[in-house]
Structure 1
Amino acid sequence: MNTPAPDLRAIGWPDAGDATPAADRAGALAAHPQARPARVIEQHRSGYVVAEAPGHALTVESPPEWMRRRFPPQDRAAVGDWVLIEDATPRPRIVALLPRRSTIKRAAAGEHYQQQLIAANIDTVFVVCGLDADFNPRRIERYLLLIRGGGGTGPDAPEAVVVLTKADKDGSDADASLAALAELAAQGIVAVAVNAKDRDSVAALDRWLGPGRTAVLVGSSGAGKSTLTNTLLGIEKMKTSEVRESDARGRHTTTYRTLIPLPSGACLIDTPGMRELKPTGEEDLADGGFADIEALAAECKFRDCHHAKEPGCAVRAALQAGTLDAARFANYLKLRDEVAGAAHQLATRLAQKSDARVQGKALNKRLDEKYGKH
């Protein structure tokens, strides 16, 4: 019987109180009685590395259908996913992907609409931003939209925490930067400033890193994600490099996503810096850090108010009164348009898939009528 081993709990296997439908997991386990659960800790072009316990990693093969060009990327396993594996030659293979309880994703770069999973089955997302030229409230808002607005709702939705690193750097002003995020703090989004090289300072994150929990680090190159990982581990495991003085940007010292068990009993997923953060079209602006602006818009005199010159516009009134930051509102409008555009692309793609299925069924019916069923 493929009952999960106790060591799986050390890498985040959900306990009995997990909100994910237990029946879905049980059904998948029952369908593959010779398989056993493992967690994806690395994802590469050629396959996956999974673990059944801390320090017990093995390379496995992907299911053949995952290698097909048109297979939806979001239906393949990502780092943090739970899969079922079976022993095979020359190496074990994945036979099933277990149900997810949360994801973080973005729209992939390129002209054609695709979704790219960043991580799965996570409790907390640390949005890492340096207290140097890397500090950018607008980019933080974009991250929060993807995390909170598109990562699911309810008890399984990942919590977003803004982590401002490099508090030890000359010229850094943590208080001023935290004040610049006051609108987010008013919505319950926690922001903390730390020296990523100092374990005592990084202890501010311990409340999110208890046994059985999984956190992921996201942020631009040079923000301090790998330094933070090393400090939490207590060893220099992740490669780090200096950032450029001109723009505080770093090189991609982390080149692939990896899940690492921490001494606290939590798991941490480190990710490469992301230059492009495109919405998928599934995001909700209210959940994504703009609940206050959405609430103001609901008070406008006209339901279809564009917040330009219409009379009775509550948003323009807040801008004029100085209670709504103009730069933040401009970013809201930009992201609103991007989400709408992505939603249109998503709807078009789903309609095309539906049409293709209908056409395929019609073709099969004609062939059956002409040649008979085989």
Structure 2
Amino acid sequence: MAVTCAIALIGTGQAATPRVIIDSDFGTLNDDGQLLAIAAQLHARGRIELLGLTVVSGNQWLRQEVAEALKAVERLGIERDVGVYAGANRPLSHDLATVLEEQRLYPGGDGYLGAWRRPEPLVDADLVAPPDGFATRTSVRPQSAPDFLAATVRRHPGEVTILAIGPLTNIALAVRRHPDIVPLIKEIIYMGGAFEVPGNTSARAEFNWWFDPEAARTVLRLPLRHVIFPLDVTDTVKLDKAVYDRVVYGEAKEGIIARLFGQLNGYGYDGKNGFETNPAYSTDVWDTLTLAYLLDPAYATRAVRRWVDVETAVGPENGRARAWASARPGLQPAWIVERFDNRRFFDFYVDGLTQPVPVRLRR
């Protein structure tokens, strides 16, 4: 049975200032970058404590993502507070040969392959600069992402929420190397999976969990609190021209975020069909739903409790998410969000992308 009073049943009674780690396959103002821009504002206003940004290959290879993340924290003015930690460059499972074979034998979905679409940058000269240039005063922190995750959870036992908005390789490595941290994690909120709707990368699999299905299976089987935002709900939350215009042409139109948002999102994935050329164009927003939910679980207007697993065998089902209404051996229950308060969410979204990040006094 679907749960319609989501806040009563899946809220956690958040502390005044939630402590958060963002684990991301980062891009300048893709959905991951948009989430960080909003999180930076919330962090500066004291509404969350953003403990760090851990980066994992997914949309792009790690070196490129780290370069864009370093520039992002610098652009947002949070580089002293929020470190960037480099994590896994390759998935635990999946390699290029397997990916290409799956695409050939089992076509479907939109064929989005993320990092696998292009050669891996091996040196800094191979990197593509963000539109406003590379970071000039910020460096990646020396600790690896899995070790940072473990150390931070130990430092704040029972208080850290992980927003898992990319492949789950970093988190899987963290719990394999440091199994003692599992009961100390407050919760993991995911953007990942597709249950009752088609996948995007393949006919049955959503990209984040498809990119490293072994990691996804490992993390989802951990005995802790899981909240999942699959394609089932993100498919229903569409960024349209009216919302786009509020970000790009509103009062903050001269700000760097509004200008980059228009430059990077205005012309669609093919550089031609987008908000600037087609008034009927729309796209999903994906990751930012997890951040809104963290602040107020009432954004989730319908959710169901299910036992979740991910297929890992090479073939047409690889990376597919599955869910059962009753307990299964080895699996853990999770809340799967199915509907969201779109009107209220887009007010939150626009505000987060257009309000200036205030200067925060640092102790």
TM-score when scaled to structure 1? Answer: 0.34
TM-score when scaled to structure 2? Answer: 0.35
The structure with more radius of gyration: 1
Higher RCO, Cα 8 Å, sep 6+: 2
